[in-house]
A = this chain, B = another copy of it.
């Protein structure tokens, strides 16, 4: 919970805040806090008052919505350089919760400062708007396929989504996330058992290999092929700063 170091020397290359003028960056720094979160800790909780905007310096975050019987649904995954809490921006309270999936470091800027920055840094504002646009495209793609895909295909989709956001780790094609079968189920909108059954099927088909709790994607192209029948266009990676 220590206070911030400087944005200018910040290691995060993609942070939106860098789009503000130097003058404004310094001003923001005065109102910015930088907080460390442990795995499992809430960054904010559905119902909390919206007090500002979060910027992920590094880490892995899941954004979840609580539905029936408080069952979690993972609406979005976020990592370095992403914005958090922007869905709530302009509203009273957060409609969703954000939870650290790994130890993470996140900067926070209060409402008033951010609003002023918007009015004086059009480049920053427009870029953030493009980020929203990108987000909408992504979530809408997930929504369509959630509505139309079988569970099997949704599991394949979730694996690719995890890969696209978090990538592979240093030891090859192993999904670089501390994720449980239950998390995957929460992305797919199904239950743990279905995820496991389908992972087992995928393993028999040489698409993935289960290595303990970790998952190795042995045939990424094969998984993508499974989804071509949906006309699916994977959303291109966002270029944060141009």
Residue numbers of A with Cβ under 8 A of B are 65-71, 73, 75-76, 86-91, 95-96, 115, 118-120, 122-123, 125-126, 128-130, 132-137, 139-149, 188-189, 229-233, 235-236
Contact = CB atoms under 8 A, between A and B. Distances in A.
A146 B148 contact: no
Contacts of A130: 89-90
Nearest to A236: B91
13 contacts: A67-B231, A67-B232, A86-B136, A88-B133, A89-B133, A91-B134, A95-B140, A118-B125, A118-B126, A122-B125, A132-B132, A143-B146, A147-B188
A201 to B, nearest CB: 20
B95 A233 contact: yes
B133 A136 contact: no
Given A126-B119, A129-B129, A231-B67, A141 B95 contact: yes
A88 to B, nearest CB: 8
A65 B129 contact: no
A56 B3 CA distance: 46
B148 A87 contact: no
B231 A86 contact: no
A128 B125 CA distance: 10
- Of A66, A76, A231, the most chain B CB neighbours within 10 A belong to A231
A70 B148 CA distance: 11
A229 to B, nearest CB: 6
Contacts of A133: 86-91, 132
B66 A147 contact: no
A232 B142 CA distance: 20
Contacts of A126: 115, 118-119, 125
Nearest to A76: B140
